[in-house]
Structure 1
Amino acid sequence: MDSQSKTNRFLMQATLGADAELQQQVARQGISDWLEQQLNMAPLASDLFQNSTENIWHYFRTRLKNEYGEQAINGEGNNPALPYKWYFHMAWWQHALSDNNDYLRQRVAQALSEILVISDNSVLELDAVGMGSYYDLLYRHAFGSYADLLQDVSMHPCMGVYLSHMNNRKANPAEDIHPDENYAREIMQLFSIGLYELNSDGRRKKDKQGRDIPTYDNRDIKQLARVFTGLKAHSYQYEWRTSFWQPEYNGYQVGFNDGIDKTYKTVPFVNMTQAMKVDESYHDRGSKTLLKGHIKLAAGRSGEQEIAAVVKRLVAHPSTAPFIARHLINQLVTSNPSPEYIKAVAKQFGPEGNLKKAVREILTFPLKNTVAVKRFSSARKEDNTLVQSQKMKSPLMRVTQLMRAFKVSNNSGKKWLCGDDIQAMLTMHPLSAPTVFNFYKPDFVPHGALADANLVAPEFELHTSATSIAYVNLMYYWFFGNYWPAVSTVINQTAGIHNVPELDPEVLKNYRNDKLKGDFRRYIAMAEEVSQQDEMIDELALLLTGRSQPALKQRIQNAIRLYRNKPEWVVQTSVFMLAISPEFVIQEA
């Protein structure tokens, strides 16, 4: 059995959020046993998010069609009803807020989504089902091979559209055609080897002059771009029958030279769930050498063979293991891992990218080792291990942890959060990053003490004067106004808008069966007895911060001093003050 404090701190790293029951269960079972159980658990389904997104889309599609008729929403002289981004949002939240047992897989999939980035802040907003299919890759491979994951990512049409290697053709100088270099650059820079050669502990290698050694140059990008030529969508697919689209077109194979205009060779007119295909006539089959000979491809190989070979060699590159190890550690545990921590995780990741071993090491290393080099004055010893502040929780992690802690639910069972209200206030939502570089840069650090100490704090890039106030306001709305994120199960009611769900929180709050609510009954019952209110504060602090917080407890006691006879208000104030406190916002390890 592990201490409740240690367990709760661990679960803040390993899940999207835990309620008191899960915290107590894991403490009784023991962290190690629970972790192994999670790592050995199969995915709930191979196409979980795709199916859920598709079902939600068809729920709305049927209602839009019944209300307005197909002629009004098919895209012929009108704005079409398409599987827009909100349907993936709804599917993601439905799973995140439901009582599934895949806690760790959910958390790792979300972490991977901030490394292998695609975003609906692009034309991908037109195909939520495709984005659900992409998220399934992250969910399915979360404890598998990173090489297999990167292979599937490279061939997925959402990545093909987002980083523009779909419809990429081999060079034809006579027609001024040159391979698109976008994905070739980012698969190296962001998804595998990084910008600079690394030692196994994540520190940069140096040349004889003491300079950083770049992992690749422009020649490597050009060589690799040739590998990703000839890729096209699997087939044509569109939602509606129109004068320009007949049902029999769906499933028809895409061809570079099939006489169909190129505007129909991308979303929303192609299949966005099946892997892209290679047209060998447009694939560069010449020999290729890059990365100082680390990758050598003989002439005459097929496109799929080349892509598979390149992905394996990129993952096997000596810099990939420490590069991905650092990023996963940053996501789950700390912004400033020690070289020893990175080296331990990189060793487990290995040349094939063993994610199960890497995740195990990421989460168990802090249980017995100090995870960072810099020691803060607030550091303390627990179970013979140094524990201190490690990173700011992202806005998404804060809200998922709070909603899961208080078992947020509704009467309809449809936890179909639109996500717009969260994103508008906190500038973050799954698969909605502003660029392929994610929501924040990994080397960001605000001016001041952190910069002076040569530390980084990536999530602080989202913590601006505007978003910090917005977060406090959001917590006030939640806990005092019972104004939780908007859920939509109805079509839009604005005159002239016939193609999307209702998205206005002011309208949606009137649908009482869909309205979210938190479960505070236990704490209100405790607060009804003034003598138990201090115990209640300690219990809430343990739930949300992993331990009692004497200084914060004193501030809460002062705030509720004159209103101790109003139990609901006492609970609201206590939870609100905890939710906006540094003790909750900053993660420890």
Structure 2
Amino acid sequence: MKSTTLKLASGLALSLAMAACGGGSSGNNTPTAADRTAATTQLGVEANRSRSGPSAPLTPAKPDNTTPASPTAPALTPAAASHFLAQATFGPTAASIAALTASSKADWINAQFRKPQTLHRSFIQSVASQLPGGSLTEDQVYESFWRQAATGDDQLRQRVTFALSQIFVISMADLSIVMRPAGVASYYDTLAQHAFGNYRNLLQAVALHPMMGIYLSHMRNQKENGNRVPDENFAREIMQLMSIGLYQLNQDGSLKMQGGHPVETYTHDDVAGLAKVFTGWSWAGPDQGPQRFNGNLADPNRDWTPMQNYAAYHSTSAKSFLGTTIAAGGSGQADLKVALDTLFEHPNVGPFIGRQLIQRLVSSNPSPAYVNRVAAAFANNGSGVRGDMQAVIRAVLLDPEAADNGSAKKLREPVLRMANWLRAFNAKSASGRFQIHITDDPLYALGQSPLHSPSVFNYFRPSYTPPNSSLSAAGMVAPEMQITGEPSVTGYLNVMQYVIARGAGVAREVQPDYSAELALARQPAALVDRVNLLLLNGGMSSTLRNQIITAVNGMPMPQPTATNAAWVSQQQHNRVYMAVFLAMASPEYLAQR
């Protein structure tokens, strides 16, 4: 990787990647308006089409009442299988592509629904016995994430869980959270547990998890008393971010308008009324005394046991929100049920949550018809059940728009790029541990870490669009662009150039298996075609393919002799490194189809 050829190629890759991501950026990592044309082209803009998002007053679209299309199961090519697996998993492998071509998408999804959940908390607690004093840190949470992303069998569950973690956000950037790694792992397990269940149960599990209680401050939230009012943080965010959004929506995700303005879903009075519901909740335990409520009694399981309600601290006054009134005198549990049922039944939930799942798995700018089909699956799974996450996931992944790989749909976020590389080349660790720790530094790492966003709004908002860009002018969004700029692109390329050749993690113990690629080192076209299938899902343009083949051919490949085995091996590896690096640095890779 030290050759002049590769250094020149790296410079070219940086230029191409910056073009794809929209040019340079200021020091705060927000993209500038420069060079947006390339980004617009890569993200498949249709200039005459406007799209609206659920949390920003974009152009309203006419409601779409099209009946959801029945999914079909045509025979899959390797490229189609790879394309699907890029959406439904942390990345395709040669084995998973081969298996899917012998099956169907629907059968694969059903098989994934049946796979047992792998628990992160159990893993990190097993690792604790290997650590000095048995002390866990955030590093073990990251390790468990990367281990499961790279090697886990329940790929669909874990991929959907990662998407949910970007909607139902807690973050180890918060000092009160990072000191509780087992609790964080448990929270992630809770999302995974309900990923294939019902959204109503997911909402309750999130609301009562102690990590969410700490993060959004409704743990130990007390009833009104004189000048004291209940903390409103969680009440606001459970509506704005986790259920109904800021503005009323049609079922296709378009904004409902009144007098030329979007209609807000809630007022401050709604927030204040709902906040009373989330009073009296604190640590679980065998009693409801003030000592336990205030956290002075350290139950060993409290970081992952759902919070309990303490009647002495719960507001018993009447509570009004979103057109619902809870009569005075209710218990904490009864009030919570009414509140969560009200949110669950709100007509916004299907399009609001459905659109975000589409964005995280498939496309930043789904058509109104696509959103409508997913919202319809949320409203009714075909058997009269609302909120069935399995029905929603099927609708997201089996939709005709998801199968269309004709144009780029979303910018691959950095965590998914790294996971894609780990899986594509069957990365393994001799110890079985994937000690890839925090990666959110944009200059020297990926610019993103799981469960470490800077705020409850994730690393990027679903409605973000680069200002003063052609994307913005076209009414489109590009959420991942919010963390994309010159520092982050440079950091990503530096990291990938290093790990592709040397491995990842502590002591570079996580190593890729390039044996299949090394066997093709003397056949540049075949090598690039394999990389294309594993990384670009068979969608590489002939121009990019020829460019990478030319770069690989430019690296001398000597015939083996009795004395040059080391040199031959090094050149074989360099050719593989070159092909993989240039593919992962290309605009065509960064903009996922």
TM class by shorter chain equals: 0.7 to 0.9
The letter for the 1-side match of 2:493 is V
The letter for the 1-side match of 2:117 is L
The letter for the 1-side match of 2:534 is L
**3-state DSSP class of the match of 2:429?**
coil
Asked if 1:577 is matched to 2:582, the reply is yes
Partner of 1:426: 446
Deviation of residue 110 (structure 1)? 0.6
Partner of 1:285: 316
* 8 A contact 1:315–1:321 mirrored in 2: no
Partner of 2:144: 91
Q: How does 1:73-88 map to 2 (within 5 A)?
A: 83-88=136-141
Asked if 1:43 is matched to 2:93, the reply is no
* 8 A contact 1:117–1:438 mirrored in 2: yes
Partner of 2:245: 194
Partner of 1:412: 431
Which whole-Å CA distance do the structure 2 matches of 1:92 and 1:146 have between them? 23
**3-state DSSP class of the match of 2:320?**
strand
Partner of 1:119: 171
Deviation of residue 58 (structure 1)? 3.5
The alpha-carbon distance between structure 1 residues 133 and 225, as it changes in their structure 2 partners (threshold 3 A), is same
Partner of 2:254: 203
The letter for the 2-side match of 1:312 is D
The letter for the 1-side match of 2:351 is P
2:276 to 202, 217, 226: 226
Which whole-Å CA distance do the structure 2 matches of 1:419 and 1:290 have between them? 40
Which whole-Å CA distance do the structure 1 matches of 2:254 and 2:435 have between them? 43
Aligned length: 497
Deviation of residue 310 (structure 1)? 1.1
* 8 A contact 2:248–2:255 mirrored in 1: yes
* 8 A contact 2:81–2:101 mirrored in 1: yes
For each residue in 1:64-117, what CA deviation from the matched residue of structure 2 results, as whole angstroms up to 9, or x when unmatched? 37xxxxxxxxxxxxxxxx53222211222222222x321111110110000000
Asked if 1:184 is matched to 2:235, the reply is yes
The letter for the 2-side match of 1:519 is D
The letter for the 2-side match of 1:526 is L
The alpha-carbon distance between structure 1 residues 395 and 297, as it changes in their structure 2 partners (threshold 3 A), is same
* 8 A contact 1:421–1:486 mirrored in 2: no
* 8 A contact 2:504–2:511 mirrored in 1: no
Partner of 1:490: none
* 8 A contact 1:43–1:140 mirrored in 2: no
Which whole-Å CA distance do the structure 2 matches of 1:416 and 1:560 have between them? 31
Deviation of residue 265 (structure 1)? 7.4
CA RMSD of aligned residues (A): 2.1
**3-state DSSP class of the match of 1:563?**
coil
Partner of 1:242: none
**3-state DSSP class of the match of 1:97?**
helix
1:360 to 391, 394, 398: 394
Deviation of residue 261 (structure 1)? 10
Moved segments of 4+, more than 4 Å: 260-266, 420-424
Q: How does 1:103-502 map to 2 (within 5 A)?
A: 103-122=155-174, 123-173=176-226, 176-207=227-258, 209-235=259-285, 253=287, 255-256=289-290, 258=291, 262=294, 264=296, 271-291=302-322, 293=323, 295-350=324-379, 352-365=386-399, 368=400, 370=401, 387-420=406-439, 425-446=445-466, 447-480=468-501, 482=502, 484-487=503-506
Which whole-Å CA distance do the structure 1 matches of 2:296 and 2:137 have between them? 18
Which whole-Å CA distance do the structure 2 matches of 1:410 and 1:421 have between them? 22
* 8 A contact 1:264–1:270 mirrored in 2: no
For each residue in 1:44-63, what CA deviation from the matched residue of structure 2 results, as whole angstroms up to 9, or x when unmatched? 35xx1121122223431xx2
The letter for the 2-side match of 1:359 is I
Q: How does 1:13-52 map to 2 (within 5 A)?
A: 13-39=87-113, 41-44=114-117, 48-52=119-123
- Work out the percentage of aligned pairs sharing the same amino acid: 34
Asked if 1:57 is matched to 2:128, the reply is yes
Deviation of residue 288 (structure 1)? 1.7
* Stretches of structure 1 lacking an aligned partner (at least 5 in a row): 66-81, 236-251, 372-381, 488-507, 510-514
For each residue in 1:451-479, what CA deviation from the matched residue of structure 2 results, as whole angstroms up to 9, or x when unmatched? 22111100011111100000111111012
Structure 1 stretch 390-399 or stretch 579-588: which is displaced more?
579-588
Deviation of residue 306 (structure 1)? 1.3
Which whole-Å CA distance do the structure 2 matches of 1:37 and 1:210 have between them? 47
Asked if 1:535 is matched to 2:587, the reply is no
* 8 A contact 2:276–2:315 mirrored in 1: yes
Which whole-Å CA distance do the structure 1 matches of 2:243 and 2:208 have between them? 16
The alpha-carbon distance between structure 1 residues 326 and 421, as it changes in their structure 2 partners (threshold 3 A), is closer
* Stretches of structure 2 lacking an aligned partner (at least 5 in a row): 1-74, 381-385, 558-570
Deviation of residue 270 (structure 1)? 7.9
